[in-house]
Amino acid sequence: MKNTFIFAGLISFAISAVLAPLIIPLLTRIKVGQTEREDGPKSHLSKTGTPTMGAFIFLIAFLAVSLFFAGRYDDVMSIILLTVGYAIVGFLDDYIKVVLKRSEGLTPAQKMACQLIVSGAYACWCFFKQGKMFSMLIPFAGEDRFVTMGWIGIPIFMFIILGTVNGSNFTDGVDGLESSVTAAICVFLFAVSVRSHEGVAIVNVIMFAALLGFLTVNVHKAKVFMGDTGSLALGGFVVASAHTMGLELYLPIICLIYFIEVLSVILQVGYFKLTHGKRIFRMAPIHHHFELGGWSETKVVGIFTIVTIVLCTFCLLFVKI
């Protein structure tokens, strides 16, 4: 099995790395350039015009290799479904923004409706697929302490999906940040699944390697951005992988960066409206707060990734591997 992991990872990395210089010129040719916020960090204004929707680089690699194992492991197709579902939602948003040149993309209501449809369909499918049981491992309570929720698990799981996916979406705002943080989470999910959930293990090796290939063109200064197509897909991938092992309640810990990012936006918007113009952070999402405080983009990526690695390592003390 070790050789399977190694070959799958190497092939995924190779596809991603080879696709990068092929897809970037294509994105440039069809003018799918990023438009940076005028009220954002001034250093980001130079990024205007950088191709976005680069998620196709790692998503094609991920799907090409993962589908090879779909017939062998049921878990693989389950994870692919939610990943692709959210990739489609993100693609619609990106396409409207950068191809049709409608700066807003999907309206917030449209985007939330699409996300509710995807998360609701997936949660219901999992509910009936698992024999109408939703079992989630209770954090820090022991290896076999699960809470079984039954039908009430559907809205709870939907809330977890939405929180994770939108947190992933907001994390994508600094060169290499979303890719690096998610790659670290993939290592944790692989470590937990390698002995008991080989399907989950193999797709996390594949996604990790695909993200490494993408990082060759996404680290500072990025030649391409993943766009909502990628950030939403990665959120779906992480939560589907965790769900397969009953680790949904561990997501706020291993994905703490995701949740801090989305929480910073909620707090900023709520406080701004409540106080008629005052702010908690210099700018939200919170990675911009640190940038405006003097951190370089590479420092933000490094610190946020280190935090994720430390939290994932801590959780390994309590999850059976």
For residues 214-230, average pLDDT: 94
SS3 sequence of the chain: CHHHHHHHHHHHHHHHHHHHHHHHHHHHHCCCECCCCCCCCHHHHHHCCCECCCCHHHHHHHHHHHHHHCCCCHHHHHHHHHHHHHHHHHHHHHHHHHHCCCCCCCCHHHHHHHHHHHHHHHHHHHHHHCCCCCEEECCCCCCCCEEECHHHHHHHHHHHHHHHHHHHHHHCCCCCHHHHHHHHHHHHHHHHHCCCCHHHHHHHHHHHHHHHHHHHHHCCCCCCCCHHHHHHHHHHHHHHHHHHCCCHHHHHHHCHHHHHHHHHHHHHHHHHHHCCCCCCCCCCCHHHHHHHCCCCHHHHHHHHHHHHHHHHHHHCCCCCC
Give me the pLDDT at residue 259, please.
97
Torsion 248-253-258-261 (CA) sign: positive
Domain spans of the chain, in order of start = 2-315
Q: 51-60, 72-81, 144-153, 180-189: lowest mean pLDDT where?
A: 144-153
Give me the pLDDT at residue 41, please.
60
What's the CA gap between 274 and 282, in Å, rounded? Answer: 17
Q: pLDDT band for 186, please (50, 70, 90 cuts).
A: very high
- Residues 6 or more apart whose Cβ sits within 8 Å of residue 309: 184, 187
Q: Is the pLDDT of residue 43 over 60?
A: no
Q: Is the pLDDT of residue 38 over 80?
A: no
155 and 162 in contact (C-beta within 8 Å)?
no
Question: Percent of the chain, pLDDT > 70?
Answer: 92
Q: pLDDT band for 45, please (50, 70, 90 cuts).
A: low
Torsion 23-24-25-30 (CA) sign: positive
Q: Say what the pTM is.
A: 0.93
For residues 22-27, average pLDDT: 92
Residue type, 281: F
Give me the pLDDT at residue 150, please.
86
